[in-house]
Amino acid sequence: MRHLKSALLGLASSLALAAAAHAAPITTLDRNGAWVSVEAYGPNVIHVTIAADKDEALNGPGYGILADHADNAGFKETSDANGDTFASNALTLHINAAPPPHVPSQGEKYFAPSLAPVGLQVMNAKGETILNMTGWEMAPHDVNGEHTYQVGADFSAPADEHYYGMGQNQQSLGPLDLRGRVIDCKHWYDAPAGETVCVPFMVSSKGYGIIWDNPSDTRFVAGINGATKFQSNVGERVSFFVVVGDTPEEIYSAYARVTGKTPIPPKSAFGLIQSKARYDSQAEILRVANTYRQKGYPLDIMVQDWFYWTRMGQMDIDPAQFPDPDAMNKELHDMGLQSIISIWPRFETSGRYYNELAAKGYFLKDKDGNPVDGLPFRSDRTGALIDATNPDARKWFWDHARDNILSHGYDYPWLDETEPDLVPDGYFFSIGSGDRYHNVFPLLHVEGVADGMRAWKPNKRVLILARAAYLGSQRTGALFWSSDVDATWEALRRQIPTGLNMTASGIAYWGNDIGGWQSLPATSSATKPLLVDPTGAEDVIGKDSEYPELLTRWFEYGTFLPTLRLHGSRKHTEIWAYGHAAESIMAKYDKLRYELIPYIYSSAKHTYDTGAPFMRALWMDFPNDPKVSDIGTEYMFGPAFLVAPVTQQGQTQKDVYLPAGADWYNYWTNEKLTGGQWVKTAAPIDQIPLFVRAGSIVPFGSDIPSTATKQTITALKVYPGANGAFSLYDDDGHTYDYETGKGATSSQLTWDDASGKLSATGALAKTATGLVKVMGR
């Protein structure tokens, strides 16, 4: 148990440091031995900590929270016989007074509660009660050698309340609302429906969100038997933040204040990213890149996936496969392309660094202090896990990733297995037990590399491909994806509600492996005539003759994701590998994606400014339409587009709901339709059901081979029927100058529907009129 003792000492030390750096709360209240601390993070964020031990109540917030952003200004405290009230111009928190002494009831004599009761309510700026905490818990138990508690809080669940967020959960085939579900909020690669990722941020239809500040395995019970609950497996206190806002922008800007802003990725992240598991050599990578250029298909990034090394954890590049990576990357750069390379956090016992890292204590350990080798658990988990909770280990990992790999001209890293794949439960990080800190690894591992990248190249934007996240992960510059999903129609259906709840959790940059990652089924399961002729793809798809149709539909959907990345364990994953029919359609959507980059990039700037995702569920933009509360089969992509992906084989029409409060245009036909109705929409194989909201202004860009080429605006498409506005934004696409406004250009575009005129300020003030195309006329 010697390592357990040292881990606990390390935990105590880290908590002491956090407390020392943490500003004093507004107040700490005594409720008959239940201590309640209150602090604010601006006028619409309140942080509540409840514990039986006063020191625990006074400790600062946990991992992922930016404690130096605490700001109590603007709150006024008052007290009376009913309790204590803390009010700003945006919210009011009332904490009930301790109940007066009374003669215990018969039940209380036998079932006396061990905790003093605490109740509280949160009201919005209108004085409406939007949250009512009815109780809290600290149930003692032993976990991984520690005497600790299950901690939790109960909240009232009105019958008309809906719940969203809580990270990545792939159980749903369409419904979006979490109400009535129990979410096991933990990183779990092997979850049956696809990897789960815990980002414990829940957003309610009532105009508030709860940030649950506990990184251990957490159960979220959403509106069952009149109650909503958070229960975490390890802790000595209850800690949560309540953010309040009338709009998504107000809620997510508050979330960003607590956990960090979402940076604008390099512009190349919005182009096509080409990946495969795996490219066998630098010759193959260059052949694929050159073929894209020869065919005239836009492409921005080539990805070098796993097993380019000589051994897991060797942190080298096999010269037999990649004899001159510097020259390879120079050739890619000369083509206007960039590169991503996969770097794993595991080290085989026979690798050159294993003994050094073990001696330094830089691995996840067992109770006796020995490194944990994943091989006995599963053959693909061989090796020990770098302990990203140890700052020295993080620095060692970054230094070697930089010097051994990235220095050969690679632009960005892919940090795979960040859940981590070696499950830490039962083991120990440097900061404490893996059970206590189950969910923090992806934040600390990715942030360590992100900080290193920015220090190495201070004015080159960080981009990291990452497989898991936690509170605050959005601030690292990472692009997240849904892990190694199946190459099936079912997996495609699951992606849509999965992504919408992930972006609702504050993780704006989410995507998936276009086409699925896992191997293809041995045979086709098609029950309807194939919509894509598989001729020419036999060498890749085997007998799964329906796969080119699935990939085509998946690529259409991917065109309207924050990131578009082809990937998979197939022999080939490129656009042209699945027959001429699939190739022509995917090439069409690849071109459309690039035409929309001015629109997408401007939406990314809005996310940077507000924290709100630009791929988002309908409830965010249409809160007054109750019919959209549970729709997870369609979504908004930026302010203009409603996207309804086709997710069934042989499907040529789809019922699409057009939200009330707006008129809509079918993008392909320009037919104008009234909102508030389901419409049967034609969906031939080359058309994803796509609608544009009336009043929208959509900028289109010129044809470019990659975002390295300057793109001009070729059209400003206006969809009349309502007044509208759009902020068109551009910058150099790769530096951090945007943080100070340096070198940026913008135009405020405004459509006056009554006069039929578009006006522009800024960069397009003189040219906008000549670019306008009024649709539907």
- DSSP for 47-61 reads EEEEESSHHHHHS--
Is residue 86 classed as helix, strand or coil in its secondary structure? strand
Q: Do 400 and 452 meet the contact criterion of CB atoms below 8 Å apart?
A: no
Among the listed residues 283, 301, 274, 272, the one whose alpha carbon sits nearest the alpha carbon of residue 567: 274
Q: Which helix (H) or strand (E) holds 138?
A: strand 129-143
d(CA 364, CA 446): 17
Task: Please state the separation of Cα 605 from the chain's center in Å.
Answer: 17
What is the rounded distance in angstroms from the CA atom of residue 592 to the CA atom of residue 600? 12
- How is 267-305 classified by DSSP, letter by letter? GGGGSEEE--TT--SHHHHHHHHHHHHHHT----EEEE-
Rounded Cα gap, residues 202 and 223, in angstroms: 12
Cα-Cα-Cα-Cα dihedral sign, residues 516, 521, 525, 528:
positive
Q: What 8-state DSSP symbol labels residue 637?
A: E
DSSP secondary structure letter of residue 631: B
In 3-state terms, what secondary structure has residue 376?
coil
For residues 628 and 618, is the Cβ–Cβ distance under 8 A? yes
Phi-psi region at 444: left, alpha or beta (left = phi > 0; alpha = psi -120 to 50): alpha
Instruction: Name the 3-class secondary structure at 776.
Output: coil
Distances (CA, A) of 207 to 131, 212, 455: 10, 17, 39
End-to-end CA distance of the chain: 76
Identity of the residue numbered 260: G
The three-state secondary structure class of 585 is helix
Annotated catalytic residues are: 416, 419, 484
By C-alpha distance, which of 491, 636, 627, 633 is closest to 561?
Answer: 636
Give the dihedral of Cα atoms 542, 544, 550, 554; nearest 10 deg: -40
In three-state secondary structure terms, 355 is: helix
Tokens of 94: 């009332």
Report the alpha-carbon distance of residue 237 to residue 28 in Å, rounded. Answer: 14
Helix axes 547-558, 580-595, angle to 10 degrees: 0
Distances (CA, A) of 29 to 79, 95, 101, 547, 692: 11, 9, 18, 62, 52
Distance of CA 2 to the CA centre of its chain: 38
Three-class SS state of 151: strand
Q: What is the CA radius of gyration of the chain?
A: 27
- Return the ∠ at Cα 60 (arms to 54 and 65), rounded to 5°: 150
Q: Where are the alpha helices (DSSP H) in 507-611?
A: 538-541, 547-558, 580-595, 597-610
Contact criterion met (CB below 8 Å) for 349 and 373: yes
- φ, ψ of residue 359 to 5 degrees: the values are -65, -35
d(CA 357, CA 313): 11
Amino acid at 211: I
Nearest to 617 by CA among 492, 501, 463: 501
